[in-house]
Structure 1
Amino acid sequence: MDMRTRVGNALKQAMKDKAVDRLSTLRLINAAIKDKDIAARGAGSEEAQCCGDAEVLAILGKMTKQRQESARTYEEGGRLDLAERELQEINVIEEFLPKQLSDKEVSEAILAAITSTSAESIRDMGKVMGELKGRFTGQMDFGKVGPMVKDQLCAASPGQC
């Protein structure tokens, strides 16, 4: 079952269960997917459903990051009630994301990507990141992975860093 269908089924179930908070978050997810479809159609794509699973995973990852930042800001501002709401939304969104890779698995994936792309220096970082994003979208935080890739490439060719 594709991601769009899973979200739609969860939305219908939340309506039946009268789970107001869950329903609200699922509607936000659905709206974000539809916004991406509309943007893709405006860019010239003819398909009715432009978002595939990879795009939906990217949307969900972005939504999770936004809510984490908001929750952190609310906590710093003393608004624990709003921070709690953001954390509840994160829980609903994460139901649709694949299992996050452990640090060890991320390191192994980086090494495998460096090997498969034949990356030798920091100039090849884009190739490695592209490989990782293609295979592990939604499974790792690429904001944290970037510096790890850079460290690995610098260790391989220290004269170029």
Structure 2
Amino acid sequence: MDMRARVNAALKQAMKDKETARLSTLRLINAAIKDRDIAARGSGDEDAACCGDAEVLAILGKMTKQRQESARAYEEGGRLDLAEREREEIAVIEEFLPRQLDEREVQKAVREAITATGAGSIRDMGKVMGELKSRYTGQMDFGKVGPMVKDQLCASGNG
């Protein structure tokens, strides 16, 4: 079952179960997917008019990151009720994301991507990041992976 179908099935189940908070988050996910579809249609590319699983994973990852930042801001502002609401939304969104790789798995993936792309210097960082994104979208935080790739490439001596 593709990601879009999984979200729609969960949405229907939340309606039946009258889970209002969950339903609200699932509707936000659906709206974000439809927004991406509309944006792709506007670009004139007929093949891009429908988000694939990789794009849906990217949308979900972005939504999770936004909510984590909001929860932190709410906590700093003393609004624990709103921070908790953001965490509940994160939990619903993460149901659709693949398992996150641990630190050791991320390091192994970085080494494999460097080998696969034949990267030898920092100038090849874009190729390595592209390789990682094509394989591991939704499974790692690319903001944290970037410095790891840079360190690995610099350690190879040609940085």
TM-score, normalised via structure 1 length: 0.97
The equivalent of 2:56 in structure 1 is: 56
| Paired letter, 1:20 | T
CA distance in 2, matches of 1:85, 1:39: 29
**Secondary structure class of the residue paired with 1:99:** coil
**Per-residue deviation, 1:49:** 5.0
1:75-154 matches, within 5 Å, as: 75-154=75-154
Partners of 2:98 and 2:139 within 8 A in 1: yes
The percent of aligned pairs where both chains have the same amino acid is: 79
CA distance in 1, matches of 2:81, 2:108: 39
User: Who is 2:7 aligned against?
Assistant: 7
Unpaired segments of 5 or more residues in structure 2? Answer: none
Q: Name the amino acid aligned to 2:82.
A: L
Distance in 1, matches of 2:149 and 2:49, equals: 34
Aligned-partner Cα distance in 2 for 1:29–1:157: 44
Q: What does the per-residue CA deviation read over 1:24-63, in whole Å, with 9 as the maximum and x for residues that have no partner?
A: 0000000000000000000012258510000000000000
Counterpart of 2:153 in structure 1: which amino acid?
Answer: L
- State the distance in 2 between where 1:67 and 1:94 align: 11
- Alignment pair present for 1:46 and 2:49: no
Q: What corresponds to 2:24 in structure 1?
A: 24
Structure 1 position 157, deviation (Å): 1.6
Write the distance in 2 (CA, Å) between the matches of 1:44 and 1:59: 21
2:65 aligned partner: 65
Q: Could you state the TM-score of these two structures normalised by the residue count of structure 2?
A: 0.98
The one-letter amino acid of 1:3's match is M
Structure 1 unmatched runs, 5+: none
Whole-angstrom CA distance in 2 between matches of 1:48 and 1:14: 29
